[in-house]
Amino acid sequence: MTDTPKMAQVGFTQMKDGTKGEYEFLNALEIDHTRHTADRLLKALVELDESLSGYQITRLGHSLQSATRAWNDGADIDWVVSALLHDIGDIYAPYNHDEYAATILKPFVREQCTWVVQTHGDFQMLYYGQHLDGYDQHKRERHRGYRYFDDNVVFCERWDQASFDPDYETLPLEFFAPMVREVFDRQAYDPDVICANQSVPLTNPEVAAQRAKP
């Protein structure tokens, strides 16, 4: 087949046979696809509504409440979006949902936030591990001494383990959607976004006070 920008699909059936024109065509489609990542994630969050019964709120409700608590604590956008998406892996990766969520976030948020999301499952075990056979309540200890250890302590205590309250005034998904779009519109792996080895406090009392104003 000839290489034209108007091709509807490539002609090859094995990748090794593709031409430069075909790969440029595919690359353009892929770039367009990545532009809609935020919308796909927002849709996936709604699907979380169906997961995990038995709690007083749904997984979507828990995600929104975590993000709302982060917002109310004066957290920056990286933290708020990370709190919102921290359990999104529940849909397809029930045994490593934290790593799954972190993989989604990794190119677009601070390294600090990625690590906290990636390991939050180990930290959360402190709150329930003692009640179940075969669980290590102190699994978080294997991360002791790591640069962001204390951040995960705060993340879990203030935003994750606390967010199962049906009476908490929780902000809707529409409130957070522009933040999700902003984060996933960033250039992937931009060093100015990843901010390797840098920590931003989860709570900012001044910003929290501003946000609390009617």
Residue 86 beta carbon to Fe ion: minimum distance, rounded to whole angstroms: 6
What's the rounded Cα separation, in Å, for the pair 112 and 195?
A: 8
C-alpha distances in Å from residue 185, one per residue of 31, 45, 145, 190: 12, 18, 33, 11
Q: Which is nearer to Fe ion, 25 or 64 (CB)?
A: 64
What's the rounded Cα separation, in Å, for the pair 22 and 157?
A: 51
Kindly state whether residue 122 participates in binding Fe ion, applying the rule CB under 5 A.
no
Q: Which is nearer to Fe ion, 3 or 165 (CB)?
A: 165
What's the rounded Cα separation, in Å, for the pair 200 and 78?
A: 10
Kindly state whether residue 160 participates in binding Fe ion, applying the rule CB under 5 A.
yes
Q: Which of 22, 73, 87, 151 binds Fe ion (CB under 5 A)?
A: 87
Residue 168 beta carbon to Fe ion: minimum distance, rounded to whole angstroms: 14
* H and E: helices and strands count for the chain: 10, 0
Q: Which is nearer to Fe ion, 25 or 123 (CB)?
A: 123
- Count the neighbouring beta carbons within 10 Å of the beta carbon of residue 188: 12
**Binding span for Fe ion by CB under 5 A among 13-21, 45-53, 160-168, 176-184:** 160-168
Q: Which is nearer to Fe ion, 173 or 193 (CB)?
A: 173
Instruction: Catalog residues that contact Fe ion under the rule CB under 5 A.
Output: 87, 160
